[in-house]
């Protein structure tokens, strides 16, 4: 469903019937993270099902998010000097992290931005070694 911030009775009816649900792309990857660039959502996957879904903002066209299959190699708690909140790095300087500005379109320098209130729980769910899959549908 398109994001328009209006929850009508039709929207609730469609949601109740499963319309608009996140479709896991890699059901056989075990516990992992999927970044869907087309829909700008980040999903935490366990046993082939999305257990949590968050709005995200990926890399803008001049600094796109790298697509592919990666592994979290480093975590950084707290807020760093760039304003990145609770970061989980998955390739070079690219990370999943909280940030104060998370528009519904690609706006980052390549990272996967999520809202600050969600940053700690996502950070705690992710471990070094967690797989991260980034793709367009």
* Residue 24 zone, left/alpha/beta (φ > 0; ψ -120 to 50; rest): beta
Who contacts 15 (Cβ-Cβ below 8 Å, separation ≥6)?
none
* Mean pLDDT of the region 4-14: 71
* Mean pLDDT of the region 58-63: 98
Confidence of residue 12 (pLDDT cuts 50, 70, 90): low
Q: How far from chain centre, in Å, is Cα 115?
A: 10
Structural domain boundaries in the chain:
9-135
pTM for this one? 0.87
Q: Round to whole Å and give the CA distance between 35 and 19.
A: 20
Q: Above 60 in pLDDT, residue 92?
A: yes
Domain covering 9-135, topology: L,D-transpeptidase catalytic domain-like (2.40.440)
- Residue 15: predicted pLDDT: 67
Q: Above 90 in pLDDT, residue 52?
A: yes
- Residue 38: predicted pLDDT: 94
- Pairing status of strand 68-71 against strand 94-98: unpaired
């Amino acid at each position: 469903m398109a994001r328009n911030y209006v929850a009508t009775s039709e929207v609730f009816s469609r949601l109740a019937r499963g319309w608009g649900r996140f479709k896991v792309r890699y059901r056989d990857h075990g516990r992992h993270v999927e970044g869907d660039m087309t829909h700008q959502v980040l999903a935490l996957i366990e046993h082939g099902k999305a257990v949590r879904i968050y709005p995200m903002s990926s890399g803008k066209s001049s600094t796109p998010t790298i697509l592919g299959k990666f592994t979290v190699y480093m975590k950084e708690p707290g807020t760093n000097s760039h304003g990145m909140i609770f970061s989980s790095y998955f390739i070079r300087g690219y990370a999943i992290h909280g940030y104060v500005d998370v528009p519904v379109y690609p706006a980052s320098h390549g990272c996967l931005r999520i809202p600050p209130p969600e940053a700690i729980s996502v950070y705690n769910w992710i471990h070094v070694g967690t797989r991260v899959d980034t793709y367009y549908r």
